[in-house]
Amino acid sequence: MTSVEEPARPGERIRDAARTRAEILDVATQEFARAGYDGARVDEIAARTRTTKRMIYYYFGGKEQLFTAVLERAYGVIREAEQQLDVDHLDPVAAIRRLAELTFDHHEQHPDFIRLVSIENIHEAHHIAASEKLGKIGSPALDVIRRILASGQESGLFTADVDAVDLHAMISSFCFFRVSNRHTFGALFGRDLLDRAQRAHYRAMLGDMVIAYLTAERTTH
């Protein structure tokens, strides 16, 4: 008597599809981060996920859409972390330090994110600009920054009238540079910005820099 394999139930098919899609995104993230958008090959991604190029196109539509999906998921990770950040119980100085540390930790832990953003900048944010999802995702960090700035100014702890986007750029630039320029900086100055022995120093330095900016006296021109 031959046994007949029971067909997959709808719920199982959905789970399998979600798992396959996630696996493709995992490998695609690595491949795009390694080879760049132009250098990455869908055939290679298919081979590493033990699927087919046709299946990848079925799920994502094409290489461009796949790269966009990779960016959407990468940005989604840090946006989710920002949304879960709870600093309302902290004073403004401690709160802004915690926010800066969140970005510091995320960028250090996700070097592929740094590479992907660098690649997207080479392409002048073409994929981000075309993505409805990324256009709507915004940055929860900006809302948190605005609340912290307002609280700090009301309490007199922050003397500077600072724009939230400017402060976000200041924090991001330090954290991004530390990862993106690690190798060139090390070759030029003989210092590894990701040296574990210096991690606490750089993490504290970022917070000190932000607080100094927020409490500095401004000269009116």
pLDDT for 136 equals 75
Each as own residue / partner, the long-range contacts of residues 163-167 (CB below 8 Å, 24 or more positions apart, any chain) are 167/210, 167/213, 167/214
Nearest C-alpha neighbor of 75 from the set 87, 83, 85: 83
Q: How far apart are CA 110 and CA 70, in angstroms?
A: 13
Q: Are the beta carbons of 177 and 169 closer than 8 angstroms? A: no
Residue type, 103: T
- For the chain, residues with pLDDT lower than 50 are 1-8, 221
pLDDT for 138 equals 73
Residue type, 104: F
Q: How far apart are CA 127 and CA 196, in angstroms?
A: 34
- The alpha carbons of the chain give a radius of gyration, in whole angstroms, of 22
Please give the structure tokens belonging to residue 204: 């504290």
Contacts of 216 (CB under 8 A, 6+ apart): 159, 160
The pLDDT tens digits of the residues spanning 181-204 come to 999 999 999 999 999 999 999 999
Please tell me what DSSP assigns to residue 3: -
Q: How far apart are CA 85 and CA 40, in angstroms?
A: 35
Q: How far apart are CA 64 and CA 199, in angstroms?
A: 36
Q: Are the beta carbons of 203 and 101 closer than 8 angstroms? A: yes
pLDDT for 50 equals 81
